[in-house]
Amino acid sequence: MANDTKQLLLEQGMAMLLRQGYHDLGVAQLLEATSIPKGSFYHHFKSKEDFGLQVIDRYMEEVHGGLDHCLGDQTLPPLQRVRRFFEMTEEKYRGEGYLGCLLGGLGQELSGISEAFRKKVEWCFSEIARRIACCLDEAIERGELSANTDTHTMAQLLINCWEGAALRTRLQRDPAPLRQMLDFYFRSTSA
């Protein structure tokens, strides 16, 4: 039961943080939305900051699940697997009303004022890029990319471009920036 309460708080918190951001989300508001008493919140989380950091961990579980699903699909060539991960992410964004990436939103909102959030979000982006770079290494082995490709830089650039496009998508409530970015990026990687 206690674990169910924590998961409910994390799930609801993830949705509310995406919609409202960290500063506009009050603990009381979260508790009201979940019908959970205040004491239960502080049983699971030391503070609002601890809660936010754990929401990021929960979000990353979903991201890793998507990476596992897409990058592990050996029926597709590596570059198609990487692109599929971002296409599936765009589908998730659509279901959320094109509010963008939770990591990007929290990073923009909090990186200048919270070292804990800055480090956590940067680590998350680095971990996603690391996993993508491994798939890009496989693309080199299969001759899909030039042997002298710096896959780490290429993966970091993809994350950077995606996050910028996700912000524009949020502003426009339209997936066009994400799709244009993917088309441009993967067209430029063609051997």
pLDDT of residue 138: 97
The residue extents of the domains of the chain are: 48-188
Phi, psi of 26 (to 5 degrees): -95, 150
pLDDT of residue 62: 96
Taking residue 85's Cβ as centre, other Cβ atoms within 10 Å add up to: 23
| Amino acid residing at 108 | Q
How far, in Å, CA of 109 to CA of 56, rounded?
14
pLDDT of residue 189: 86
pTM for the model stands at 0.93
How far, in Å, CA of 52 to CA of 105, rounded?
12
Taking residue 169's Cβ as centre, other Cβ atoms within 10 Å add up to: 24
| Amino acid residing at 157 | L
pLDDT tens column, 163-176:
999 999 999 999 99
pLDDT of residue 190: 72
Q: What is the dihedral of CA 174, 180, 185, 189, to 10 degrees?
A: 140
Whether 165 and 181 have beta carbons less than 8 Å apart is answered as yes
pLDDT of residue 55: 98
Enclosing H/E stretch for 74: none
Topology of domain 48-188, CATH: Tetracycline Repressor; domain 2 (1.10.357)
pLDDT of residue 153: 97
pLDDT of residue 1: 52
How far, in Å, CA of 156 to CA of 125, rounded?
8
pLDDT of residue 2: 63
Residue ranges, the chain, pLDDT below 70: 1-2, 191
